[in-house]
Amino acid sequence: VSRAWFLARAPQGRLRADDFELRDVDLPPVAENEVRCELLWLSIDAANRAWMQGATYRSAVTAGTPMPGLGLGRVVESRSPSHPVGTIVAGDLGWREQCVVEADDLEVVRGTRPLPEHLGVLGVSGLTAYFGLLRIGDPQPGETVVVSAAAGATGSLVGQMARIRGCRVVGLCGSPAKQRWLEDRLGYDVALDHRSDTLAADLKAACPDGVDVYFDNVGGPVLEGVLPRMRVGGRIVCCGVISQYDTDSPRPGPAGVPGLIVTRRLTMRGFIYTDFQAEFDAAQTEIAGWLDDGSLQVAQHVAEGLDRAPDALVDLLAGATRGKCLVRIAPETVVAHAG
Ligand SMILES: NC(=O)c1ccc[n+]([C@@H]2O[C@H](COP(=O)([O-])OP(=O)(O)OC[C@H]3O[C@@H](n4cnc5c(N)ncnc54)[C@H](OP(=O)(O)O)[C@@H]3O)[C@@H](O)[C@H]2O)c1
């Protein structure tokens, strides 16, 4: 038996922690090529809420179904020669204490870096920032890069990677404390409040020559605010639309499309980080180098225990977290193995 979170009902408006229900589930016996894992860490992601709105790049999460989610676990029972007991694995393990999964669906975690980094800077957040910025945005030294949800898991890495590339970096975030953190600790040139009534004027002052690359995590009014500041030939990296996730009535828009795309010769391109799966190893090596030489800082918001998973997602959506949001499911008694 394992405890597991289920989505008890479809959220009405904003997500609430009591939209979820914690249940005991029977674990099936481990079949050929399957493993049983004990969860160590769970990644809480903005996309978790988008999955409840309907099918995206994965099937929808509907009322009455177990909550999926990326996690790190340790193999405690195995019928897979490639994943012996003790192997540390990453994959869609779900919001639960234990799971039985196909070994082929799991990535073996190697190396000696702290385990949670494999969900954050070396996992979904870092790879999304890396490929979205460097492949789709293609920023050149001296260009101006604007990123929204700049203090979040993805955004906090995008801005730092843009700085490493020699760009001027402007971050948009939701509180004065986050603005100070981005400017003082992460090296952003300017951080602006995306809720300010003067956002358009603030952007004009912060980007007097316009914006070359906009890394869009939020869509909605913020995208509408940045569009008129784009330079001719600018690139908009469509990474996500968090401003439209936590609602049952997403807003159409933005205004200015396609007119501004035509006149400014803009490129707007969406992506899912797994599009670049074949290049993950090389990207992780470069990112690990930035961690080692201190040019990339990581921040984590850790909630303790499986019971806290729904609250952690509600907090993330409300802007109450900074950096990578994680839930520690089991005490960290293991480090990744080097083999
Ligand atoms: N394409 C891909 O492969 C891929 C992969 C991973 C993530 N993503 C996308 O990346 C984005 C960030 O995801 P994440 O998991 O890293 O979350 P996150 O940035 O750690 O957290 C989300 C942040 O969004 C901000 N936010 C919430 N509502 C907002 C609104 N209405 N307007 C503006 N900002 C708002 C909040 O910060 P403030 O306090 O600053 O408002 C919050 O902290 C999401 O859109 C997600 O879907 C895409």
Tens of pLDDT, residues 296-324 = 999 999 999 999 999 999 999 999 999 99
Instruction: Say what the pLDDT of residue 244 is.
Output: 96
pLDDT band at 333 (very low <50, low <70, confident <90, very high): low
Beta strands 34-43 and 324-328 are antiparallel
Distance CA 84, CA 150 (A): 40
CA dist., res. 309 & res. 327, Å (int) = 6
Q: Is the peptide bond before 310 cis (omega within 30 degrees of 0)?
A: no
Helical (H) or strand (E) element with 128:
helix 124-131
pLDDT single digits (tens) 132-182: 999 999 999 999 999 999 999 999 999 999 999 999 999 999 999 999 999
- Ligand 1 probe mutation, 242, 298, 301, 327, most atoms within 8 A of CB: 242
Residue 37 has pLDDT above 50, yes or no: yes
pLDDT band with cut points at 50, 70 and 90 for residue 334:
low
Q: What's the pLDDT at 20?
A: 98
Nearest CA to ligand 1 atom 29: 243
Q: What is the pLDDT of residue 332?
A: 63
pLDDT of residue 85: 97
- The single residue listed with the structure tokens 């908009």 is 236
Q: Is the pLDDT of residue 16 over 60?
A: yes
The Cα 32–Cα 100 span in angstroms is 11
pLDDT band at 111 (very low <50, low <70, confident <90, very high): confident
Ligand 1 proximity of 73 Cβ (cutoff 6 Å)? no
Work out the angle at residue 278's Cα, subtended by the Cα atoms of residues 274 and 284, and round it to the nearest 5 degrees. Answer: 80
Q: Which of 14, 58, 133, 154 to mutate to test the pocket of ligand 1 (most atoms within 8 A of CB)?
A: 154
118-126 average pLDDT score? 97
Which pLDDT does position 336 carry in this prediction? Answer: 53
Buried-exposed string 270-302: b where 16+ CB fall within 10 A, e elsewhere: eebbeebeeebeebbeebbebbeeeebebbbbe
Q: Residue 225's closest CA among 203, 257, 193, 244?
A: 203
Its pTM surpasses 0.85: yes
Task: Say yes or no: CB of residue 218 within 6 Å of ligand 1.
Answer: yes
Whether the CB of 222 sits within 6 Å of ligand 1: yes
Taking CA atoms only, the protein residue closest to ligand 1 atom 13 is 46
Kindly report the average pLDDT of the chain as a whole number: 95
One-letter identity of residue 196: S
Residue 338 banded pLDDT, cuts 50, 70, 90 = very low
Q: Give yes or no for residue 337 having a pLDDT over 60.
A: no
List the one residue out of 67, 60, 24 whose CA is nearest residue 44.
Answer: 67
Give the C-alpha separation, 269 to 274, whole Å: 15
Q: Strands 34-43 and 98-102, how do they pair?
A: antiparallel
Which pLDDT score is estimated for 56? Answer: 87
Which element (helix H / strand E) includes 235?
strand 230-238
Whether 13 has a pLDDT exceeding 90, the answer reads yes
Separation of 217 CA from ligand 1 center, angstroms? 5
pLDDT in tens, 235-274: 999 999 999 999 988 888 888 899 999 999 999 999 999 9
Instruction: Give the ligand 1 atom nearest the CA of 150.
Output: 40
Continuous segment of H or E residues that includes residue 184: helix 176-184
- Distance separating alpha carbons of residues 112 and 94, to the nearest angstrom: 24
